[in-house]
Amino acid sequence: MHIHFQREELIKPLGFVAGVVERRQTLPILSYLLFKAQGGNVLMTGTDLEVEVTVSVDAKIEAGGEIMLPARKLLDICRALPTDATMDLRADGNKAQIRAGRSRFSLMTMPISDFPVIQTAEWDVTLRMPQQDLKQLLQETHFCMAQQDVRYYLNGVLLETSGKKLRAVATDGHRMAVSELSLESDLGQTRQVIMPRKGVHELIRMLEDNDQPVEIQMSSNHLRVKAPRLVFTSKLIDGRYPDYSKVMPGKQAIQLKLPREGLRETLARVAILSNEKYRGVRLTLSEKLLRISTNNPEQEEAQEEIAIDFAGNGFEVGFNVNYLIECLGSLRSDEVLIGLNDPNSSCLILTPGQSSPQYVVMPMRL
């Protein structure tokens, strides 16, 4: 094998593949990526047995072939080289030689036959959309996923197809995000799959903010996303997702329309003196006034008031301030609608006049 490529064309796709590869592996082969040179392209594949990523890179190929290279070391070499460097890769036996200017690197390889490839079943659902739409769908929900929860099905994002809708749902039991987008074709029956946490984060990182199409394929055990120069495959979480529709609050007796960024900044300021462990914030509603306050065990307090259009019986309700800030930060509108009922009910956060995305945050005792 003998290949020439530009450092700038290699480093970004190499970063995608190396991001999937774990630094510490029980199987040494999983710290390597598969290089396959054919035609005018090099295909790079990396996996951790849960997620597999293949990217395509333009290259000048003198002699084709396949080789296994250590992912992190190769990425570190690329990062250390000048941005305009031309890299020359040669493989012979169990070693690979990389040259760039006056730099020389010799890397150990591993047998290609040891590299594991995710075996997928037949794809029974296929849909297409602009990749920026899929990226936005995941960005609007991913931060509500659970992390290392014993309820393993919460450690990911639910993707649900229903008619001409694709819906994403994430919850950790304390908050929930629901976002949906319209599809060009009607997929008929409802289908649900749960994409694991790592796969969600990696896919968000790889998708571009443009309208180039992506193809999503689903099977009983896997999900695959095909984008230009990228094939992303993830195992699915085997479990039944809770009925999220039962968590959605009904009609809210109180609806507050507020400047989104102004409210987010207010919460960020008062959060400075909140309890570092429980992160509670108190919202006190009174006629024409919303008081937002926090305190901590050191008997320190923070308070800020916002004028609101509200008349009626006031009350106090507590929430995790981080949850509110993250929900507000995910929205893109100038205004936000906060729906409340009473101190014991969850609040609903959404953009006025829009049904997606929606965020539900459970109250907490302060």
- Report the side by side order of strands in the sheet with 222-227: 65-70, 32-38, 41-47, 51-58, 230-235, 222-227, 213-218, 125-130
**CB within 8 A of 92, min separation 6: which ones?**
none
Beta-bridge partners for 316: 284
Q: Where are the domains of the chain?
A: 2-114, 125-246, 254-361
Measuring CA to CA, which residue among 16, 134, 163 is closest to residue 78? 16
Mean pLDDT by 10 residues, the chain (366 residues): 94 95 80 91 94 95 94 96 96 92 96 90 91 97 97 97 95 97 87 96 96 94 96 96 92 93 98 96 95 96 95 92 98 96 95 96 94
Q: Are 301 and 295 in contact (CB under 8 A)?
A: yes
Q: What are phi and psi of 259, to 5 degrees?
A: -65, 120
Q: Residue 117 gets which letter from DSSP? A: -
Q: What pLDDT is stored for residue 46 in this prediction?
A: 96
**Domain spanning 2-114 has what CATH number?**
3.10.150.10
- The pLDDT of residue 251 is 86
Closest listed residue to residue 270, CA positions, set 343, 327, 324: 324
What pTM did the predictor assign? 0.92
Q: How far is CA 6 from CA 33, 58, 229, in A?
A: 19, 9, 17
Architecture of domain 125-246: Roll (3.10)
Homologous superfamily of the 254-361 domain (CATH): DNA Polymerase III, subunit A, domain 2 (3.10.150.10)
Q: Is 313 helix (H, G, I), strand (E, B) or coil?
A: coil
Per-residue model confidence (pLDDT) at position 23 = 67
Q: What is the pLDDT of residue 194?
A: 98
Residue 281 host element (H or E): strand 280-286
For residue 230, what are the CA distances in angstroms to 5, 48, 91, 112? 18, 17, 25, 21
Q: At what angle do helices 7-20 and 71-80 cross, to 10 degrees?
A: 150
Q: What is the pLDDT of residue 27?
A: 86
3-class DSSP state of 285: strand
